[in-house]
Structure 1
């Protein structure tokens, strides 16, 4: 018999599969329990709702992204983007969930957290008072990188990383230097 932590991990893995196949909104806890071969009450023992299950999957991602920006100093843009890519590549399944069902973040009240760390990442890249045009370029760069990890997840990570970082730097209008 599996330990509860093992069961939770299995439930989350199965939920990720179903979320990817049919979307978060179209996946019920019953479908997850059926695929796992466990009863719905057994699933409810670990997660009282789909929202709680989704939060358990996304919370570590949000925590890690926040820690990433908090622990950084402004500096070389290329290195920051390379490290950011590595981080979002690790969480590409979760990012895919959000990109395919953006209302999930709103339902879980995580939107403000996401925008906060994205703004902090922009400050690390561009400094404390970037122009509107620079902030727009940062949105393209960071959003484009997130799209790349989802859209090109079937390619080798290093291939995607090299192209995505170069494209982000081009969008920022720099080759690793902070822009005004």
Structure 2
């Protein structure tokens, strides 16, 4: 009797993840505004109605790609307590590095993503991180240094996303610590 290997069927979750992966790649390469749902569906070899089955609109698809970053950042700032600033910087860099492709997408398309209210959320996260790093009573100069430190690390995750983590992280974290005047 010939051996028969059953074909592997993909479930709705697999298709949804494939759509998100292809969309993320195209959004990073071309920008959100310059990527059509038709391009995404053609790249996947599915129909546009099949894509609409999983995502009601391009905005829903974009939001589904960005939401894990939002959730991780919300959890990160909520669960942290003041402590070792270098550890916080290191953990923060790990977080933004995991989501670097989404950060690239956001930076490329800030105006196209305004409906997600990311700008205000990002500033709120930064304010919370500054309190965790330096305490609640920071001088204006300390606040500026912390903004440079955190913003610089985010910029490194975007600018050097194509490099290996071990080449970027130590330099970025050390530069952030220097900007903060940490020993």
| TM-score between the two structures when normalised by the length of structure 2 | 0.91
Equivalenced residue count is 175
Taking the TM superposition and a 5 Å limit, the aligned residue runs for 1:37-116 are 37-116=45-124
Cα 1:128/1:105, change in 2 over 3 Å: farther
SS at match of 1:154: coil
Which runs of at least 4 in structure 1 moved beyond 6 Å after TM superposition? none
Distance across 2 between alignment mates of 1:159 and 1:169: 17
What residue is the counterpart of 1:26 in the other structure? 34
Pairwise CA distance, 1:128? 0.6
Q: Gaps spanning 5+ residues in structure 1: where?
A: 176-180
For the aligned residues, what is the CA RMSD?
1.2
Larger Rg: 2
Q: Gaps spanning 5+ residues in structure 2: where?
A: 1-8
Distance across 2 between alignment mates of 1:168 and 1:137: 9
Taking the TM superposition and a 5 Å limit, the aligned residue runs for 1:164-179 are 164-175=172-183
Deviations 1:30-85, CA, capped at 9 Å, x for gaps: 11111111100000011111111010011111111111111111111111000111
| TM-score between the two structures when normalised by the length of structure 1 | 0.92
